Structure 1
Amino acid sequence: MTAATTIVSPLPHALPDCANARIALFAIRRMGAHGLADARAAHALLTAFGQEFRRPLILMRNLMADLAGVAAGQIAIAPCCCNRMTAAEAALIAVLGRVETMPEAARLLLSDLLGTRHVDGVLASAAAVTAAFADDGRPIGR
């Protein structure tokens, strides 16, 4: 193989098929790039959830703060305009999709993503985000 055929894409994963997972990904990207108080992330959740947007917004902010506080290194996120995901984004969406049904798999994914064994707090935040989406009829799938 030549060097041109072995280039690894920085965005190896397709966007999730689930519209709810795409909403979560958009909020993750906006808050990760522009801060927890990003107005476009808040507007996206307001549009998706209507009057009940506050709970998913606050919990998403908590999740992002927990991720930043616990991660041993940087978590790669792509710009919002990208139609593919980084490996870290794909892992985070998988965690959100599995945290209720396969918590041990979600714990291992999160541990690998964050580079630490102590992920219980972040896992609880992810479960709260997933529950907030599901309670409003928007379960996060993969």
Structure 2
Amino acid sequence: MLSHDRLTATLPHVQPDDAALRLVIFGVRQMGAHGLDDAAAAHAFLTGFGQDFRRPLTLLRTLMLELSEVSSRPIQIAPWCCPRMTASEAALVAVLTRCLTNEAAAGLLLADLLAVRDASGPLATAAALATACADLGLPLG
């Protein structure tokens, strides 16, 4: 069993209370562990967004694909059931909550997460995902 100190070192952040962000984190974790076509992620998005779930789900799939292609280092994710987040997940949450209001800051955070100079492609997808969630009544953050 992990000690409290080791757990907080591995998973330093508590998940946000925001339902939309928790849904996106769940989707990231499921797709990261089981692939982009994970049925549990699709079901969670159907439950969360209703009949218009396809837009945010497709955008999250696209974002996950772009992150995996662009990143020059591994992005750590926690198991789906964990109430805490990795530093990488917390950085992604910060990007998603800032990409519509402070694009420059979100771009720097995302470039740092991916260890690349330019993260404009995934940033555009993150902004489209944040817009889709807001349009469907679940704004991120």
Q: How far apart in 2 are the matches of 1:100 and 1:54? A: 21
Aligned-residue identity in percent: 56
Q: CA deviation at 1:137?
A: 0.9
Larger-gyration structure (1/2): 1
SS in 2 for 1:9: helix
Residues 90-129 of structure 1 mapped to structure 2, 5 A cutoff: 90-129=90-129
Q: How far apart in 1 are the matches of 2:32 and 2:61? A: 10
For normalisation by structure 1, the TM-score amounts to 0.93
Q: How far apart in 2 are the matches of 1:109 and 1:122? A: 12
SS in 2 for 1:128: helix
Q: CA deviation at 1:68?
A: 0.3
- Runs of 4+ in structure 1 off by over 3 angstroms are 4-8
Aligned length: 138
Q: CA deviation at 1:123?
A: 0.2
Could you say which residue in structure 1 is the equivalent of 2:37? 37
The answer to whether structure 1 residue 58 and structure 2 residue 58 are counterparts is yes
Q: CA deviation at 1:98?
A: 0.5
Q: How far apart in 2 are the matches of 1:46 and 1:83? A: 22
For normalisation by structure 2, the TM-score amounts to 0.94
Q: Which amino acid aligns with 1:80?
A: W
Q: How far apart in 1 are the matches of 2:4 and 2:49? A: 44
Could you say which residue in structure 2 is the equivalent of 1:133? 133
Could you say which residue in structure 2 is the equivalent of 1:49? 49
The answer to whether structure 1 residue 68 and structure 2 residue 86 are counterparts is no
Unaligned runs of 5+ in 1: none
Q: How far apart in 2 are the matches of 1:73 and 1:5? A: 27
Report Cα offsets for 1:48-99 as digits up to 9, x if no partner: 0111001011111000000000000100000001110000000001100000
**Cα 1:94–1:5, aligned 2, differ >3 Å: closer, same or farther?**
closer
Q: CA deviation at 1:10?
A: 0.4
Could you say which residue in structure 2 is the equivalent of 1:86? 86
Unaligned runs of 5+ in 2: none
CA RMSD between the two structures: 1.4
Q: Which amino acid aligns with 2:100?
A: E
Q: CA deviation at 1:105?
A: 0.8
